[in-house]
Amino acid sequence: MSEFVLEMRGVCKSFPGVKALDHAQLKLRPGTVHALMGENGAGKSTLMKCMFGIYKMDEGEIYIDGQKTVISDPLEAWDKGISMVHQELQPIPARTIGENIFLGRYPMKKALGFIPVVDHDKMYEDTAKLLKRVRMDFDPKQKLGTLTVSQMQSVEIAKAVAGNCRVLILDEPTSSLTQNEVEALFRIVEDLKKEGVAIVYISHKMDEILRISDEVTIMRDGQYIGTWEAKDLTTDFIITKMVGRELTNLYPKRENIPGDVVFEVEDFTSINPRSFRHCSFNVRKGEILGVAGLVGAQRTELMEGLFGTRSHTSGTIRYKGKELKITRPKDAIDHGIAMLTEDRRGSGIMGVLSVADNISVASLNKYIDYGFILNTKKIDELVEENRKKMNIKTPSGKTLIQSLSGGNQQKVLIGRWLANDPDVLILDEPTRGIDVGAKYEIYCIIADLAKQGKSIIMISSEMGELIGMSDRIMVMCDGRITGFIDGKEANQENIMALATQFE
């Protein structure tokens, strides 16, 4: 009997113009958390999709309990005890928790002795047992849409361990969770470890990795770099192995000099009484204004209100003293305001379109000749300019954006807005789900834009990022602005003091 519940050996996988995996490997022991780390594009997700049967390997072998096996599709992976909780949840909000958990494999019974129908009693009885297993005290008949993101994630984990789960893949499981929700997830992980489940944990959060993992495997450029016991590792060692070089600075040296106030918001209030209210602030030319706050502080909602995707009842927006009327995103774009969305996949990229399409979509009117002919040559030049300027790793502009790593997708979205040459950029969680190397590149882009005189508003849930990148930090709590802190004086204590200043 092998000491490993699952092994992947010599795995190769290529896509047009890209070798995603180059003889990668992974060995999982039962009852352990095995962190899989690497920069965006290192091949982590591709390796997991090969394990789960979403992708077919070009080369390589998979062994379960020392026996060579073939996994052709996710259903076969499920039958062999392999489950995966994807980073992007795909719930059906209008259906019950039980229906979501047993989707596609409902327990059946015979009605009238011969008509097959869903056995709802058994389904909800089994759902109750699964929810108890993941520490969720919910009614199995409750609509999934009434739950929070973290609770939906727990439902996904319950669904994943519903069968004879022996290997559970968690892809960026805490990217949208609060600290309390993270602790709840960790308790579930510990319970599953005790049951002998091998857990593959993919995350860019170093503190989580060092805390919860037993072993760490690092990949780079599709290749296996090595596996170490987590207790022997440091953050610096992991970063060096991930990027292939030492990163002496997490944040670039900034050379921007904030000038006069150019963007002003006064008494901005949402149409929703539970959202943002009476918000007033300003941004200077060439300034990076960080926006801090806990989950529920309404930071994103305020920025979406300024950009015209949410309605407001009162408030004034001025640019260089001139009042702006913004009721829809087109108004904001016409006035030189751009917004990088928090939800990269949901409302950012258009996955079925190419890199070129995604970069040019917000500025197509600039590339139309004679009123109706699209100048593809100029669009190709725009794409190539952005590819070089922001180091976007893509075989060509015709490559589908969904095949790029998260960091490269984010650079494409930044390029989309820069094509309009905006004066004010709202960046909502610009580095969420992105590895440390790609983060630094995006920080450099942000710092360079501020140096050029662009006004940057940056929402972030990472304290270090706010402190390391902001000239000033605006803090919100429960829909209100509770204070401002000079970037040089900011620390976790004074930010948290304002972030918890409830009425």
What CA dihedral angle connects 322, 325, 328 and 333, to 10 degrees?
Answer: -20
User: Does 320 lie in the same domain as 301?
Assistant: yes
Residue type, 496: M
pTM across the whole model = 0.64
pLDDT at 401: 86
Q: Can you give the length of the chain in residues?
A: 503
The answer to whether the beta carbons of residues 45 and 202 sit under 8 Å apart is yes
Output the pLDDT for position 323: 95
> Is the domain of 321 the same as that of 435?
yes
Where residue 104 sits, what CATH number does that domain have?
3.40.50.300
Q: Are residues 296 and 394 in the same domain?
A: no
Residue 437 lies in a domain: yes
Residue 458 forms part of a structural domain: yes
Contact 381, 415 (CB under 8 A): no
The verdict on 285 and 236 lying in the same domain is: no
Is the residue at 1 inside a domain? Answer: no
pLDDT given at position 110: 87
Residues 355 and 394 both lie in one domain: yes
Give the domain range for residue 431.
Answer: 249-336+422-503
Residue 218 has which token pair? Answer: 């690092």
Give the C-alpha separation, 31 to 34, whole Å.
Answer: 10
Burial of residue 178 (number of CB atoms within 10 Å: 0-12, 13-18, 19+): middle
- Residues in Cβ contact with 66 at an 8 Å cutoff, skipping those fewer than 6 apart: 1, 2, 4, 7
> Could you tell me if 414 and 426 lie in one domain?
no
Query: In this structure, are 381 and 494 located in the same domain?
Result: no
Alpha carbon distance 422, 414 (integer Å):
11
d(CA 429, CA 440): 14
Residue 221 sits in the same domain as residue 356: no
For 299, the token pair is: 């930071």
Do residues 254 and 194 share a domain?
no
In a domain, 275, yes or no: yes
Quote the number of domains for the chain.
Answer: 3
| End residue of a domain, out of 201, 227, 243 | 243
Domain-located, residue 463: yes
Query: What's the pLDDT at 64?
Result: 95
Sort residue 205 into left (φ over 0), alpha (ψ -120 to 50) or beta: beta
Asked whether residue 466 falls in the same domain as residue 377, the answer is no
Per-residue model confidence (pLDDT) at position 20: 86
Q: Are residues 162 and 311 in the same domain?
A: no
Are both 237 and 366 inside the same structural domain?
Answer: no
Q: How far is C-alpha 63 from the geometric centre of its chain's CA atoms?
A: 31
Q: What is the mean pLDDT of each run of 10 residues along the chain (503 residues)?
A: 90 82 95 89 88 94 95 91 80 89 86 86 90 83 84 81 86 74 84 93 86 94 93 87 70 91 96 93 97 87 94 93 93 92 74 82 78 81 81 80 81 84 91 76 91 95 89 95 95 89 78
Q: Which single residue is written with the structure tokens 């976790």?
A: 492
Does residue 67 lie in a domain region? yes
**Boundary-marking domain end, from 421, 443, 472:** 421
d(CA 203, CA 349): 21
Helix locations, 253-400, DSSP H? 299-307, 329-334, 344-347, 355-360, 376-389
Domain boundary among 393, 421, 449: 421
